Amino acid sequence: MPAQIIDGKKVAEEIRAEIRVKTTRLATAGVVPGLAVILVGDNPASLSYVTAKEKACGENGLKSFEHRLPADVSEAKLLELVRSCNEDPAVHGILVQLPLPAHIDESKVIAAISPGKDVDGFTPSNIGRLVLDDPLFVPCTPAGIVELIKRSGVPTDGAHAVIVGRSNIVGRPLMNLLIRRSVNATVTVCHTGTKDLARHCRDADILVPCVGRAGLITGDMVKPGACIIDVGVNQIDDPSAKRGHRLVGDVVFDEAVERAGWITPVPGGVGPMTITMLLWNTVLAAELGRGA
Ligand code: GUN
């Protein structure tokens, strides 16, 4: 029997409904959760993510404050903007869209965000809290992955989860979330130094590729009945598509769907969850009264 398709849009909408209940409640107390969205340069992918984030704010009772800076803006100017958002009581959450241009030190900019407004969960403080099992703001994509797994009824207690990719945005924080007692998985993290990736993947009850390489995970690398959360977003040529290209994940979907128990599509799997968890974190920041 083919896998159950995990509908990220549906799960995201479920959570957005919960968010609207919270923003409605906050509005009666005169609080509108505010998100400062900072975009440097005109990377088309970043621009489309930022636009989607701003739209989602408007649809769910949050206010976004847009800041677009030219690609050649100085690091000092960007730091100044971050600091002014830190001080702004109408701003509960700050998002600096990554990647930043090469002349800017990304880690310096992230570290400048006040941890209480770091709704991306990227600051050393928030990552440290997650590692120490006392999370405040959890990075949005990993948080969304856990929600997808839990809300789809995938058993996690004692499951072997295999993450492919060790990025600061996905792989590393996800590892820490999956070993929490509330999930209780045993985690293997594969990366470019891993020998025999296929062997590790075949042993996974929960497989999470987050590499950005189309075709990386083929059907023979999937354990029958496994849950596959495909985080990859890759544009590939497709002459039959309207624009001549389409988006695929890291998994060969048509092969994997025949063996897996659950699988997320790309697009429509993890993507909608990332933005939803950003809204969630921003509302949490407002609830915690971090505006001042
Ligand atoms: N670039 C890719 N993913 C993300 C994300 O979740 N947050 C930010 N700020 N930048 C990103």
Q: What CATH code is carried by the domain that includes residue 75?
A: 3.40.50.10860
Location of structure tokens 């409605």: 24
Amino acid at 125: S
Q: What is the largest CA-CA distance in the chain?
A: 57
Residues labelled as active-site residues: 53, 97, 120
φ/ψ region of 158 (left if φ > 0, alpha if ψ in -120 to 50, else beta) reads left
Same domain, 251 and 162: yes
The whole domain housing 262 covers 140-272
Bond into 239 cis (ω within 30): no
CB 285 within 8 A of CB 118: no
273 ligand 1 Cβ < 6 A: no
Q: Is residue 242 part of a domain?
A: yes
Atom of ligand 1 nearest to the CA of 95: 9
Domain for residue 127, yes or no?
Answer: no
**Helix spans in the chain (H):** 8-28, 44-59, 75-87, 106-112, 124-131, 140-151, 171-178, 197-202, 253-256, 271-287
159 within domain boundaries: yes
94 Cβ closer than 6 Å to some ligand 1 atom: no
Q: What CA–CA distances, in Å, run from 142 to 18, 71, 99, 108, 276? A: 19, 28, 18, 23, 12
**Is residue 95 domain-shared with residue 169, that is, in the same domain?**
no
Q: With respect to residue 162, please indicate whether it lies within any of the assigned structural domains.
A: yes
Positions in the chain whose pLDDT score sits under 50? 290-292
Q: Does residue 107 sit in the same domain as residue 230?
A: no
Q: Which is nearest to 234 in space by CA: 209, 262, 206, 256? A: 209
183 and 233 assigned to the same domain:
yes
For ligand 1, whether the C-beta of 120 sits within 6 Å is: yes
Q: Which atom of ligand 1 is nearest to 140's Cα?
A: 6
Q: Which among 29, 66, 33 has a CA at the least distance from the CA of 291?
A: 33
Give Cα 130 distance to the centre of its chain: 15
Ligand 1 mean position, distance from CA 212 (Å): 14
Q: How many domains does the chain have?
A: 2
- CA of 46, closest atom in ligand 1: 1
- Domain end, chosen from 52, 79, 114, is at 114
Is 250 a pocket residue for ligand 1 (Cβ < 6 Å)? Answer: no
Residue 67 CA to ligand 1 centre (angstroms)? 15
167 and 106 in a common domain: no
Q: Is the CB of 275 under 6 A from ligand 1?
A: no
The pLDDT value given to residue 292: 39
Indicate the pTM of the whole model: 0.96
Q: Write down the pLDDT at residue 1.
A: 84
CA pair distance 152, 204, nearest whole angstrom: 17
Same domain, 145 and 190: yes
For the segment 237-264, what is each residue's pLDDT rounded down to a tens digit?
999 999 999 999 999 999 999 999 999 9
Q: What is the pLDDT of residue 271?
A: 95
Of 197, 247, 192, 236, residue with least CA distance to 220 = 197
Q: Percent of the chain scored above 90 by pLDDT?
A: 98
- Report the distance separating Cα 92 and Cα 25, nearest Å: 16
In this structure, are 157 and 267 located in the same domain? yes
Q: Answer yes or no: is the C-beta of 98 below 6 A from any ligand 1 atom.
A: yes
Clarify whether residues 145 and 42 are in a common domain.
no
What separation in angstroms does the CA of 177 have from each of 129, 146, 204, 210? 11, 8, 17, 15
The residue contributing the CA closest to ligand 1 atom 3 is 98
Please report whether residue 122 resides in a domain: no
Q: What is the pLDDT of residue 291?
A: 45
Across-strand partners of 37?
Answer: 66, 95
